[in-house]
Amino acid sequence: MRKLLGALCLLFLSSAASAQTFPGLLNLFTTPNTWTALQKFNGGIGGTLPTGLAPALFLSQTPSGTTSVSQFYNDFEIADSAALTGSQTFGVGLLVNQTFGNTVQGGRIAIQGQALLVGTTSASSSNRNYVGVFGTGIAQANDNGTNPSASVTSFGGIFGGNFLGILNSASATAFLGVTGAEINVAIITGASAWAKTLMNIATDGRDRVQGTVVDTMLWFYNQSASNPGWNNGLLFDGQNQNWPIKSTGAIIKTLGAGTAALGADFTATTFSTGAFKSTGFLVDGSGLITTGTNGGTGGQLALNGSTSGNVAINTNATASVINFTQPITVGFSGVILGKVSIFGSTSGTTVLSGTATGGHLTYVGSGTAPTNSACTGFSLTTGSSDLAGTVSFTSATSCAISFGTAFATAPFCQASGGTAATTVRVAATTSVLTVTFGTAQAAMSWNCYGA
């Protein structure tokens, strides 16, 4: 009781504008106290607060005045010289350890920072950035590293922030999720902003030097080889959550006139199925491109060019052939006329050939066979086409057939009689082949070349 009376006397006798110093242990105050001056506690502050819902610590502050430098309205200064010898020990400047258990209801937030703009700020303001929580890691000295070209000679890690979500007991089962950090954003109806992002990743304006070995805006890795690994590096989820991208949007996009060496570089990774996959399209780990789906849509490869010049499928200097394992069709029926051009150099020959085991090199015309134009008893041999064929007819000195598909220009044709030696005269238009014989024939064969 004497100690308490002595402390109260010191309070009343001291000036109200002066800091109060208590050299020994001050007895507990059991009623509210108001101090209007700075109080110094050189031995620290400790205590056990009563239970209930009232705040344990409540400070109300109204900063005012004018200055051109940054201000710390509340400042904890810790001059740290402690030696923490464990390999995973940390000196924590401020710890808020909020524990709860089986009687608790409702969510919990251990620390919340809130920057609340409630009115329009001064029109003269040159900094209009408002941050709820800001963390900074700063180095102003070397930390025993000797060479940044290798991790074993580089020491010290500076982090502006670190977040960890952990299920730290085998009893922590069947949780809905565990997340290192969640970032949310919202603009309510009627509000507006030039930019809306879930996260901005940008270098500080003072940045001038790249990382010696690793230099990347995002770095994904596991801290231990015993970590189980991830099924996905990035996931845009429309199965377990609401799909986030608009139907007119892009999942990954670039803007502006930037320049880069590569769009994506997967050369250091082995792919068991494919380096890229989408519906009807796959690029496997060795660069093989597959289009279309088995039993479904046909694969297509469109080569678009300018209004002049050529589009090309090229091989490197050491490649000898381009192989196609299925028949090739050029053009679209009833839409685009198919055309194959074989170009050569200024001398020599171009070659259309088959291998020794490839059978015969054949020409097949359109699906429509030639028909009778003026040839009594017309009977077309199976396999005949506009390009080549045989027809039998009632013995006569002439026979005319209509091409199944008209040529663009009159073709060059040769013909021969099929039953006796004879002279032959061949006349061809874009649609009709007419052959006249010196000696009557009952059959003839032909070959036609042209467009």
CA distance 129 to 317: 58
Nearest alpha-carbon partner for 417 in 388, 448, 396, 387? 396
CA distance 310 to 339: 14
pLDDT number for residue 43:
80
Average pLDDT over residues 206-227: 96
Sign of the Cα torsion 123, 128, 132, 137 reads: negative
CA distance 210 to 203: 11
CA distance 182 to 164: 11
Spatial contact of 361 and 351, defined as CB atoms under 8 Å apart? no
Calculate what percentage of the chain has a pLDDT beyond 90.
60
Neighbouring residues of 222: CB distance < 8 A, sequence distance ≥ 6: 229
**Is residue 9 pLDDT above 50, yes or no?**
no
Residue 17 — very low, low, confident or very high, per pLDDT cuts 50/70/90?
Answer: very low
Read off φ and ψ for residue 8, nearest 5 degrees: -65, -40
Q: Which residues is 401 bridged to in the sheet?
A: 372, 433
pLDDT number for residue 364:
62
Average pLDDT over residues 54-63: 84
Range name among 84-93, 155-164, 382-391 with the lowest pLDDT average: 84-93
Q: Which of 97-101, 306-310, 341-345 has the highest mean pLDDT?
A: 97-101
The CB density around residue 377, as the number of other CB atoms within 10 Å, is: 13
Which tens digit of pLDDT belongs to each residue from 284-315?
999 988 888 877 777 777 877 777 777 777 77
The two three-digit tokens of residue 309, written as one number: 């010049």
Strand segments (E) across 122-205: none
Which tens digit of pLDDT belongs to each residue from 183-208?
999 999 999 999 999 999 999 999 99
pLDDT number for residue 332:
76
Strand segments (E) across 151-285: 276-278, 281-283
Q: DSSP character for 133? A: -
The CB density around residue 158, as the number of other CB atoms within 10 Å, is: 9
pLDDT number for residue 8:
42
Of the two residues 55 and 221, the one the predictor is more confident about is: 221
pLDDT number for residue 358:
72
Neighbouring residues of 436: CB distance < 8 A, sequence distance ≥ 6: 397, 398, 424, 425, 427
**Is residue 4 pLDDT above 50, yes or no?**
no
Q: In order of start, what are the domains of the chain with their CATH numbers?
A: 371-449 (2.60.40)
CA distance 384 to 390: 6
The two three-digit tokens of residue 392, written as one number: 């039998």
DSSP string covering 365-427: --SSPPEEEE-TT-EEPTT--SSEEEEEEEEEEEEEEE-SS--SSPPEEEEEESSS---EEEE
Residue 34 — very low, low, confident or very high, per pLDDT cuts 50/70/90?
Answer: confident
The distance of Cα 446 from the centroid of its chain, to the nearest Å, equals: 59
Neighbouring residues of 42: CB distance < 8 A, sequence distance ≥ 6: 21
**Is residue 138 pLDDT above 60, yes or no?**
yes
Q: Is residue 170 packed enough to be buried (19+ CB in 10 Å), middle (13-18) or exposed (0-12)?
A: exposed
The CB density around residue 395, as the number of other CB atoms within 10 Å, is: 15
Average pLDDT value over all residues in the chain: 87
**Is residue 3 pLDDT above 70, yes or no?**
no
Strand segments (E) across 33-166: none
**Is residue 47 pLDDT above 80, yes or no?**
no
Q: How many CA atoms lie within 13 A of 215 on its CB side?
A: 9
Neighbouring residues of 423: CB distance < 8 A, sequence distance ≥ 6: 437, 438, 439
Of the two residues 354 and 125, the one the predictor is more confident about is: 125
Q: How many CA atoms lie within 13 A of 44 on its CB side?
A: 3
**Is residue 365 pLDDT above 70, yes or no?**
no
pLDDT number for residue 321:
77
